[in-house]
Amino acid sequence: MARRILLLLIPSLLLLTAVYADTGALKLNGQYRYVEIQTNLGDIVVELDHVHAPITVTNFMAYVNSNAYDNTIFHRVIKDFMIQGGGFKSDFTKTPTRSAIVNEADNGLKNLRGTIAMARTREPDSATNQFFINTVDNDFLDHRSNSTSGWGYAVFGRVVAGMDVVDKINALPTSRSGPFSGDVPVNTVLIYHVIPYQEHGTTDAGKKQPSPP
């Protein structure tokens, strides 16, 4: 009986090996499933949702693969709301961007604590390189309608390890600095690198309503 069960499991194990063992990094259908955001306060591992947010994930990985996030900062931190980064160097120099992408906020994913989403301007289809991590459930950022005010913010993944680092950043004191009138961490939160991740773990994930990212 045990031998029969083992024989039945072998095809499944072979399939998992083919899906996840590509080039030594965990992948799904040849695409990276996880990235690690390495900061001076610790590392954050994010699982990317290729199924529900393919355009957003492809855009994000284009920045990752070109090292565009190296030595950028979390420039906007609003306690018990979100932490935002990816678009500025420590001297507040803006980093180059690719073309803006279509907003996938209607993909069914919600802005729950621990999810990662794209920041943008008032225009729904304006996201480029900046992203934010929700530190609480922010349902007012979810898609409500196909209008400028109702489109929402596209979630494209979730934190699976390092939520304690997110919370540490969330708790930092902030002030005005550079071109910003407020919400800038007093002590710089530097993003050293964002890279494909080799292993993964799990972590927990969970109001005021300041202006959206």
Write phi, then psi, for 64 (nearest 5 degrees).
Answer: -60, -50
DSSP, res 93: P
CA distance 98 to 140: 27
Q: Is the dihedral of CA 110, 114, 115, 119 positive or negative?
A: positive
Q: What is the mean pLDDT of the chain?
A: 85
114 in the Ramachandran plot: left (φ > 0), alpha (ψ -120 to 50) or beta?
A: left
| pLDDT value of residue 32 | 86
User: Is residue 186 over pLDDT 90?
Assistant: yes
Residue extents of the structural domains in the chain: 23-196
Residue 118, pLDDT > 80, answer yes
Instruction: Give the percent of the chain with pLDDT over 90.
Output: 77
What local confidence, expressed as pLDDT, does residue 197 receive?
82
Question: Tell me, what's the pLDDT at 36?
Answer: 96
pTM: 0.83
Q: What does the pLDDT read at residue 213?
A: 65
Mean pLDDT of all residues in 8-14: 36
Which has more pLDDT, 200 or 11? 200
Where does the pLDDT of residue 116 fall: very low under 50, low under 70, confident under 90, or very high at 90 and above? very high
Amino acid, single-letter form, for residue 47? E
Beta bridge partners of 89: 72
CATH number of 23-196: 2.40.100.10
Closest C-alpha to 77, from 154, 10, 166, 179: 166
Q: What is the mean pLDDT of residues 11-32?
A: 47
Q: What whole-number distance in Å separates Cα of residue 213 and Cα of residue 197? A: 26
| pLDDT tens-digit map of 29-74 | 667 899 999 999 999 999 999 999 999 999 999 999 999 999 999 9
> What does DSSP assign to residue 172?
S
At 142-163, the pLDDT tens digits run 999 999 999 999 999 999 999 9
Two tokens, residue 122: 């008032």
Banded model confidence at residue 135, pLDDT cuts 50, 70, 90: very high
